């Protein structure tokens, strides 16, 4: 698969962003400008639908890049194998991306890790989806603990860009929270009434647990990581992420309790794995938690 050719130039959304925003007179180096443009692309909330739809289905397809743009802007960005993976990313929207970030320098240890990776990748859900979902190549993904570097070369990992019906834009985040937030507030009131002492002792923990449906709605994608700790303990890292790559919940899979089938089943049932913890930004006091939960002084007040 590393020898697979990429799609026609310009058919990937980030490539349209590059050729639309490239500044030939910039004092930045080409690599610096590409890094800045990748960051800008990842921070876009609304993406033109023509950048993500099949060109044949559009009355006004996006602009095909010129030869100079291909050679100067696009080709130096990433190899064909990565473009091929980018084009096929989220072929099955149920499956998470499985990213390996650790490659031991010790030969026998590396071989053991390779075998363990093969075992993980040969189980559901990856046995059928490994051709696009499993990112395992030391030349590309040897990030160690800095797993976010994957977005620099594969910004498509940030989540599927699914067009809205009869909409010209594809949003990275959506607000479907009103009904869930109303139910959440009712559950909070009941929790205070039923267990006032427990509320006083652990208010934030109760709130963040009851808010899991809201957190699921805020989650755009999920990512499983085989990092150094995963190879040492057998516990893969699980990240639930919003459309802007912020951690909603994070944890590790216990091989004695959890399995990859269970993780994907919960995702399809609009649930999150319970043995994960809330990301800092989605805590009750976090900037995104405040926005998501919209708690009032009355909601937060201790019971009488």
Res 225 pLDDT > 70: yes
- The CA distance from 77 to 65, in Å, is 14
Q: Which residues pair with 159 in a beta bridge?
A: none
Specify the range with the lowest mean pLDDT, choosing from 8-22, 114-128, 176-190, 199-213: 114-128
Tell me: the pLDDT tens digits for 269-281? 888 998 899 999 9
pLDDT at 28: 96
- Burial call 215-239: b when 16+ CB within 10 Å, e when fewer: bbbbbbbbbbbbbeebbeeebbbbb
Domain residue limits, the chain: 1-88, 93-146+174-304
Q: Give the pairing type, strands 221-226 and 97-100.
A: parallel
Tell me: the pLDDT tens digits for 63-110? 999 999 999 999 999 999 999 999 999 988 888 999 999 999 999 999
pLDDT at 164: 63
């Amino acid at each position: 698969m590393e020898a697979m050719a990429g799609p026609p130039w310009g058919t990937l959304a980030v490539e349209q962003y590059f050729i639309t925003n490239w500044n030939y007179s910039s004092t930045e180096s080409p690599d610096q400008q590409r890094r800045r443009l990748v960051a800008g692309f990842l921070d876009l909330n609304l993406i033109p639908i023509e950048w993500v739809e099949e060109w044949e289905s559009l009355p006004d397809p996006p602009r095909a890049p010129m030869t100079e743009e291909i050679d100067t802007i696009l080709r130096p960005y990433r190899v064909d194998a990565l473009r091929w993976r980018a084009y096929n990313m989220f072929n099955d929207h149920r499956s998470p991306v499985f990213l390996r970030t650790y490659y031991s320098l010790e030969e026998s240890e590396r071989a053991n890790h390779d075998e363990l990776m093969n075992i993980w990748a040969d189980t559901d859900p990856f046995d059928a989806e490994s051709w696009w979902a499993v990112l395992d190549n030391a030349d590309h993904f040897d990030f160690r603990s800095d797993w976010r570097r994957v977005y620099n070369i594969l910004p498509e990992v940030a989540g599927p860009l699914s067009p809205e019906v009869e909409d010209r834009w594809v949003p990275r985040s959506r607000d479907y929270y009103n009904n869930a937030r109303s139910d959440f507030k009712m559950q909070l009131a009941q929790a205070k009434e039923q267990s006032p002492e427990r509320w006083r002792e652990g208010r934030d923990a109760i709130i963040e647990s009851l808010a899991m449906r809201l957190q699921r709605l805020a989650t755009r994608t999920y990512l499983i990581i085989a990092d150094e700790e995963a190879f040492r303990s057998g516990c893969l890292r699980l990240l639930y992420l919003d459309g802007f790559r912020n951690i909603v919940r994070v944890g590790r899979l216990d091989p004695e309790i959890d399995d990859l089938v269970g993780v994907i089943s919960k995702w399809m049932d609009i649930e999150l794995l319970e043995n994960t913890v809330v990301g800092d930004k989605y805590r009750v006091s976090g900037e995104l938690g405040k926005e998501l939960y919209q708690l009032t002084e009355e909601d937060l007040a201790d019971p009488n």
